[in-house]
Chain A
Amino acid sequence: MKKQSFSQRAKKDFRRNRALYLLVLPVLAFYIIFHYKPMYGAIIAFKDYSPGTGIAASPWVGLANFTRFFSGPYFARLIRNTLLLSLYSLLFGFPAPIILALLLNEVRNKKFKSVTQTITYLPHFISMIVVTGMISNFCLSNGLFNDIIVLFGGERSPLLQNPNLYRTIYVASSIWQEVGWGSIIYLSALSGVDAQLYEAASIDGAGKWKQMLNVTLPGISPTIITMLILKMGSLMSLGYEKTILLYNASTYETADIISSYTYRVGLLDQDWSYSTAIGLFNSVINCVLLVISNRLSKKLSDTSLW
């Protein structure tokens, strides 16, 4: 009975929305060709891929590549580093643009507001290569940061050589680069909050602080939660670009993360199957995290990605 109605509905739907489905075809094709087809290629994670024989004909090795990673000497460290770096990025990096947006929202002077916005967007436009180049220069023992440290009575030291400082530098520079840009989305959400609500609140005698808690935050909370879920899903997928440009052997202890390790074994050591296996593991973790956080959010706040 149910099946029947499904096929009927489907037929009806196709008849009515044919043009719409046609319209989305190129988009679907794009996803299938550039996202799903490589996923098929990811089966080399279970094979001993060799280019001469090709993906299909390379011999199966089962989970060998995965067990090699799990039992490898760096497994625990890579997981720890990736998780900690992500967590710190989330902990400090996620609220930063929200706070900036809230502060900006309180500015009455239009000119000041737009100048602040423009200037805080600046760093976003600078490429990763340049940003890391600047960081490395500023962190040298005779670099800008050390000049400032000396100014405050500290002692000179090469900052990028200190594994204890690496995460701070990484997270702080990311915030620096993205805080302004990230605030755009919250600012627009803020502009969508109904002005009448504020009026009503102030008539009720609510001060600025109370207004923020009772009107502003609830008003933008769907945006915040959606962004948070999206972030959770990519918690483990820190890119390697910044890491490989910023780390050196003395900071491996805190700096080496899954993606940079994958990059090294996959591209520099030509261990394609192994690196794909690690990448796959990473993707699976992402999905699990995403589903968990989405479910939590659905329960707690009724906001869900799907």
Chain B
Amino acid sequence: MKIKRSMGERIFGVFNYIILSLIMLLCFYPVWYVLVASFSDSGLLMQHSGLLFKSLGFNTDAYVKVFQNPMILRGYANTLFILVVGVVFDIIMTSLGAYFLSRKNVMFKKPIIILIMFTMFFSGGMIPFYLNLKDLHLTKTLWGLIIPFMISTYNMIILRTSFESLPDSLVEAAQIDGASHFKILGRIVLPLSKAIIAVMVLYYGVGIWNAWFWASAIIRDREQYPLQVILREILLQNDVGSMSAGVSVADQEAVGMTIKYATIVVATVPILCVYPFLQRYFTKGVMIGAVKE
């Protein structure tokens, strides 16, 4: 900066840091609270009131109990399956749509856009959607949680904008060389869009990881429950007993509160861990996918 910063700007700068630090604190503290509570001694936690800055005592019993529960591990496996397969399907389908929408000189593009956008605001409703799933034999299977949710229109629009920002000459040159659209998409467009694809992976991934409603509606085999459904059972059912197989009644009460917090941590940490891997794409500032136009 060549120009000297004025007094007002400096004051603003200081305030800016203070405000942002406060926002950070607000976002961080509840997460921290859950984390330290999960490591606390349950008895102490029950009697404690007020803010919590570090764990009350140190106790990992709750985690031992959580991982003793066979349902949690099955839930992990199921969620992982939906996550991996789902994200692959999602990305493929969304890129296909976005690529089409980013091409110019296509006559029926506009009606197709309208056809697609309309679904963002108009839906048949829960019951017709479910009846449709059943007609397609997509109930009672994990695929019912993948296939019907392959495309998020919102994400597709973002991806399209990003594709549009790539120079036309690239695609045109490839077309002159006789490359098919599939090839162009796979060899040129996608490799150039790694950053935005990373963002898409994260968008879809978080969505899949945290989804529970349709799973609880269509899955009837407990062996197939994704993690969030089990998490919900534990948190909402208020039944500490069901969590702590192999514990005597008294122990159940003692670890009850912390088990809930530990379950939250166990169910949230994996998806949090994905983020740092994708973060560099964010910080590179290459998120060109802003919805424009």
Binary contact readout B12-41 vs A (1 if CB under 8 angstroms, 0 otherwise): 110011011101101110110110000000
A303 to B158, CA, bound (A): 16
Are A38 and B282 in contact, with the CB atoms below 8 A? Answer: no
Binding site secondary structure of chain B: helix
B206 contacts the other chain (Cβ, under 8 Å)?
yes
A142 to B47, CA, bound (A): 10
Are B96 and A39 in contact, with the CB atoms below 8 A? Answer: no
Q: Which of B120, B272, B285, B291 has most A Cβ within 10 Å?
A: B291
Q: Which of A116, A119, A138 has most B Cβ within 10 Å?
A: A119
Are B27 and A123 in contact, with the CB atoms below 8 A? Answer: yes
Nearest CB of A to B264, in Å: 5
Binary contact readout A184-195 vs B (1 if CB under 8 angstroms, 0 otherwise): 111111011000
Given A23-B182, A184-B287, answer yes or no on A31-B119 (Cβ-Cβ < 8 Å).
Answer: yes
A104 to B288, CA, bound (A): 18
A207 contacts the other chain (Cβ, under 8 Å)?
yes
A41 to B126, CA, bound (A): 10
Given A207-B6, A208-B12, A276-B125, answer yes or no on A189-B96 (Cβ-Cβ < 8 Å).
Answer: no
Are A116 and B292 in contact, with the CB atoms below 8 A? Answer: no
With a CB–CB cut-off of 8 A, which chain B residues contact A188?
285-290
Number of interface residues of B (CB under 8 A): 96
Q: Which of A30, A100, A303 has most B Cβ within 10 Å?
A: A30
Nearest CB of A to B92, in Å: 9
Binary contact readout A277-294 vs B (1 if CB under 8 angstroms, 0 otherwise): 001100110110010000
With a CB–CB cut-off of 8 A, which chain A residues contact B268?
125-127, 130
Nearest CB of A to B232, in Å: 5
With a CB–CB cut-off of 8 A, which chain A residues contact B97?
24, 27
A75 contacts the other chain (Cβ, under 8 Å)?
no
Q: Among the listed A37, A122, A189, A287, which residue makes an inter-chain contact with B132, where contact means beta carbons less than 8 Å apart?
A: A37
B122 contacts the other chain (Cβ, under 8 Å)?
yes
A192 to B107, CA, bound (A): 30
With a CB–CB cut-off of 8 A, which chain B residues contact A191?
285, 287
One of A12-20, A82-90, A157-165 at the interface: A12-20
A127-B209, A230-B291 known, 14 other contacts, Cβ within 8 Å: A26-B96, A27-B96, A31-B151, A35-B124, A103-B20, A123-B31, A148-B51, A208-B12, A241-B213, A245-B236, A262-B126, A290-B121, A306-B114, A306-B117
**17 chain-A/chain-B pairs, Cβ below 8 angstroms:** A10-B108, A24-B97, A27-B97, A35-B123, A38-B128, A103-B19, A106-B12, A106-B13, A115-B24, A138-B30, A147-B49, A176-B27, A192-B290, A207-B9, A223-B291, A263-B126, A280-B125
